[in-house]
Structure 1
Amino acid sequence: MMKFTNLHKLCATLLVAAMLTGCKKDFLNQVPEANLTNTNFWKTESDLKQGVVGAYSSLRGMGTFSYWLFGEMRSDNTTFQYNAPQRGQENREQVDQFLATSANTLIQDFWRESYTAIFRCNDVLDHVEAIAASDAAKKQAVGETKFLRAFYYFNLVRQFGGVPLRLEVTKTPTDAPSKGRATADQVYAQIVADLNDAVTNLPDASAYGAADKGRASKGSAHALLGKVYMTQRRFPEALVALRRVTGYGLMPTYSSVFSIQNKNNMESVFEIQYYVSGGTNLSSNFMYQFAPFNSGTIVTQDPGTNLTYTSGWNTPTADLIASYEAGDQRKDVSLAEGFTAPTGFVAVPYVKKYNQGFVQPGQTNVNFPVIRYADVMLMMAECLNEAGFVAGGEAFQLLNEVRRRAGLAPKTSGNPVAGLNVSSQEAFRAAIEQERKIELAFENHRWYDLVRTGRAVEVMNAHGQREVSKAPAQFPAGAYAVTPNKLLLPIPQREVILDNLSQNPQ
């Protein structure tokens, strides 16, 4: 996604233009802003750029909530800090405990925001050819919006299964009803088609100037395509796509990946951009949501922001904490097992990875990684292993390069240390799962990895039993009773009624 320096300039320019227009004698002849339509808006290259920015902008809102709620907190990596005095957020807890119903407002929000984003992509694609813009600008706009549309649909299909395919702009009320739910295969076919078009139209990341770092690139599209193919268990095709993600590399240390000074670094294939500057609020707030609600200002170091019921979420679980090997440098970067209050140590874990300071009270500049090159390397290793186990082969090299940066010893076939011995295809699958769990913790991959590998029901039921055993009275009946049907979210009841959609069995 684009670095928001340009977006700030664009917003400021629009504001100044509006003010100047109001001072001119012919202001009565201006088209009222409330009356802007597709007919009088989509005219210039500036309009095209604004449309593309709109397609990106949906990422920010979903990135600060929906993506981690449904992609990480549903997994065994994180849970929530139980807030006994404040019981107004049960809808979040229900997602974590597999008790969410079709009436859950957060599921409705995720659905609505995703389709709003898709509409914005469709609006650009519907008008791009008629705009007076250079061919290069049009080509890039097509590439970016098709990448984004694929990304939005990828999240929908992984969470709901088959969903309505809306590929055209809704222009009249009669266009509003969908054709019903497409099959999951049909949705994936559209995602693949969009990503192949994106690959054709997007430039390499290196072609972007400093002000545009973070936009979707050819590498972003290849990487997402590889992830899509892996989700479909099309490993040979996934490997071809992932090998085409070139020009990237691992940062020298794990901590440097997430430093606020290194946004859009050499390891970043795609990340959601957040920015605070000059009163413009395009900020993130992860450290506030993930800090323990009873930590005051100790964790955030922000005296101007009081933590409330909106804090204490995406809390690292005991399962995850126990998964770290001794000496793994990623642990201290990623999480803390508690905080020290004036009364002593409080053992409430929290995510540290996004705790990089604030710019203004409640506002941070911290981006959220969507795909990193470490993720690409581990996906390639998995694809190679699925093609056939090779002791000491390329898959081991990729796995151990990621481990080496974390300060860990390599895993090898026949290693005399039991924890480092990987001597079969199945053992390598387990090693990859473990490495992805730790390397990509709190980056919204764990839930999707469990589902695509067929491990979600087994892992989440075992995890749930351990969670409930700690404080049985805090858990409603049926919590963590995970069945295959529970792996998909229910379709929001509002959509079932208004769009006549079939419901997912629960």
Structure 2
Amino acid sequence: MMKKNLTIIFIVLLAIQLPSCKKFLELEPISVATDQGFWKTGEEADASVAGIYALLRKSLNNAQGTNYFAYGDFPTPEFLPYLYGEDWGAISEMNWATSIPLSADYRNMGKMRRFDSFYKVIDQANRCLKFIPNIPADKFTDKERGKNRLLGEAYFMRAFTYFYISRIWGDVPQVLETTDNPASSQELSRTPASEILAQCVKDIAAALPLMEYGYKNASNRAVRANKGSAFALLAHVYAWQQKYPECAIAADSVIEKGGYSLIDSTQYLNIFRGQSSEGIFEIAQSADNENSGTGSFFWGTLKAPYIPNSTIVNYRLDDLFLKELYAEDITDIRRNKAFDFLNTPEPICIKYANVRLNTNAEDYVFKNNIIVFRLADIILLKAEAMAASNNNNGQTRILLNQIRNKRGANNSLVTDNKLFEEIISERARELFMEGHYYYDLVRLAKQKAVYKFNNPLVFLPRRMNATEFLAGKYLWPLDPSLITKNRKLTQTPFWTGKL
């Protein structure tokens, strides 16, 4: 144990000495030291909190750099069910019970049915929440203010990670104290999703008074959480719980106090480079790790001329769905700037086309962040909340048309009884291929019993019908390897007996 602790101390202290951006992107703690030689300074605390972000980045880039988008976009009409690459087609078609050999731990399906990597994120947050309070405030550059900020970030990251995995699996094990390896060393049963989400709200409530709007260091904008990030997360948690009045209030705190602004139309694609005026919370990508080469999700969405000598796109968009989505919006900058080959059978989304050829001329480096929350998302989420409450359709339309007009589209003429559904469609236009649409469709199904998971052409495979949705198919199964190792884990109800 002492040797292990000293190794981790060395890793973290080395990170402390690196330039801040490099340190933040590259710190990936394997464990954490808990002996008396560590957790003594503000620098060590900051490096340990940065380690939470690094572990989350690694989890969201699992499965060939595609996890985040495979959960949030692949099982929607954005993509054709037939995707190139092992398991991606089955994932898009929601054939999540696909059998794979236990020895095939490289398979994307198996990786995506496992949640253990996310528990490393949670454990790192738990470690920070356990040890940082014991560090004297005078050991931090900003004294109590700096100490509070780091604790707020740790609470935020724990809440975000639990919210993220609960949207995927529903009931998940809850661990609020640090252990050496909570996902594998303990036998943990699944905690009801309602309790998981309630704890998320508690963690956010704990984080908010410790955090501030804005950033002391501009290089941390959006890639480290602040009070605006926490309120954005709270709004999303409340929307998932269908607590829409509370969602609207949380969204207001972002919109009115966060200091964010919608980006100018001429700079629209800069959103995806990261840290724009819209950015609220983003995953800073490291070109040296997850964000390079053919293992990146971004690579699979592009072809020539954006990637030289590549004539096909791995992750094919549904051209008919796109035509329907933007049918009345020929002046919409989202249609005109975010896509190419739009009037062909193989359109591509170029939001993530910020790519350069590596110095060895054999690999590609993508300079894009994962945009988790941004201002347009939260404005539309508030509009969704107001439409669900059905008490001020006029104000709801103002919010909806604020986004549409900023993007060059005309005011929406949809009738009041279709307003909620139209806002979900507007979120599809605005947040296309940003990891939101699947969860938006789940909320639509829960709120309005409207099921839009399938592609427009009827001969394509059907992902999910109303009966399957109500039976819980929208939640992922656990990989059998997890259940084999943990006798207290049970399979997600819909998938019981199917794998």
Determine the structure 1 residue equivalent to 2:80. 79
Report the CA distance shift for 1:70/1:496 in structure 2 as closer, same or farther (over 3 A): same
Determine the structure 2 residue equivalent to 1:410. 411
Query: 1:83-113 deviations in whole A, cap 9, x for unaligned?
Result: 4xxxxx3322211111122756435434122
**Alpha-carbon separation, structure 1, partners of 2:433 and 2:31:** 43
Aligned pair partner of 2:437 in 434, 438, 446: 446
Query: 1:128-163 deviations in whole A, cap 9, x for unaligned?
Result: 122353332321111112111111111111111110
Moved segments of 4+, more than 4 Å: 9-12, 33-36, 80-83, 102-105, 172-175, 461-464
Aligned pair partner of 2:91 in 90, 95, 113: 95
Report the CA distance shift for 1:178/1:333 in structure 2 as closer, same or farther (over 3 A): farther
Determine the structure 2 residue equivalent to 1:265. 276
Aligned pair partner of 2:329 in 326, 330, 336: 326
Report the CA distance shift for 1:363/1:462 in structure 2 as closer, same or farther (over 3 A): closer
Give ranges in structure 2 of 5+ residues lacking alignment: 1-17, 101-106
**Alpha-carbon separation, structure 1, partners of 2:269 and 2:168:** 27
Structure 1 position 252 matched with structure 2 position 260: no
Aligned pair partner of 1:129 in 114, 133, 140: 133
**Alpha-carbon separation, structure 2, partners of 1:498 and 1:154:** 24
Report the CA distance shift for 1:147/1:50 in structure 2 as closer, same or farther (over 3 A): same
Post-superposition offset of 1:384? 1.8
Aligned pair partner of 1:139 in 127, 148, 152: 148
Query: 1:333-355 deviations in whole A, cap 9, x for unaligned?
Result: 2222369xxxxxx7422221111
Instruction: Give the counterpart letter for 1:374 in structure 2.
Output: A
Normalized against structure 1, the TM-score is what? 0.78
Report the CA distance shift for 1:103/1:198 in structure 2 as closer, same or farther (over 3 A): farther
Post-superposition offset of 1:286? 4.1
Structure 1 position 372 matched with structure 2 position 374: yes
Determine the structure 2 residue equivalent to 1:458. 451
Determine the structure 1 residue equivalent to 2:185. 176
Query: 1:27-74 deviations in whole A, cap 9, x for unaligned?
Result: xxxxxx999732133332222112111100133331441110011111
Report the CA distance shift for 1:322/1:337 in structure 2 as closer, same or farther (over 3 A): farther
**Alpha-carbon separation, structure 2, partners of 1:131 and 1:438:** 47
Q: How does 1:21-420 map to 2 (within 5 A)?
A: 37-39=33-35, 40-61=37-58, 62-63=60-61, 64-79=65-80, 82-83=83-84, 89-101=85-97, 105-106=107-108, 108-110=110-112, 111-132=115-136, 133-134=139-140, 135-171=144-180, 176-205=185-214, 207-214=215-222, 215-245=224-254, 246=257, 247-253=259-265, 256-259=267-270, 263-276=274-287, 281=289, 283=291, 285-291=296-302, 295=303, 297-301=304-308, 312-313=314-315, 315-324=317-326, 325-327=328-330, 328-337=332-341, 347-358=345-356, 360=358, 361-391=363-393, 393-411=394-412, 420=413
**Which is higher, the Rg of structure 1 or of structure 2?**
1
Instruction: Give the counterpart letter for 1:435 in structure 2.
Output: E
**Alpha-carbon separation, structure 2, partners of 1:11 and 1:375:** 25
Post-superposition offset of 1:178? 4.0
**Partner SS for 2:460:** helix
**Partner SS for 1:270:** strand
Normalized against structure 2, the TM-score is what? 0.79
Query: 1:454-475 deviations in whole A, cap 9, x for unaligned?
Result: 168832246473434xxxxxxx
**Alpha-carbon separation, structure 2, partners of 1:352 and 1:43:** 46
Report the CA distance shift for 1:317/1:72 in structure 2 as closer, same or farther (over 3 A): farther
Which shifted more, 258-267 or 238-247?
258-267
Report the CA distance shift for 1:269/1:399 in structure 2 as closer, same or farther (over 3 A): same
Report the CA distance shift for 1:268/1:75 in structure 2 as closer, same or farther (over 3 A): same
Determine the structure 1 residue equivalent to 2:463. 480
Give ranges in structure 1 of 5+ residues lacking alignment: 15-32, 84-88, 340-345, 412-419, 469-478
Determine the structure 1 residue equivalent to 2:6. none
Post-superposition offset of 1:404? 0.4
**Alpha-carbon separation, structure 1, partners of 2:20 and 2:220:** 7
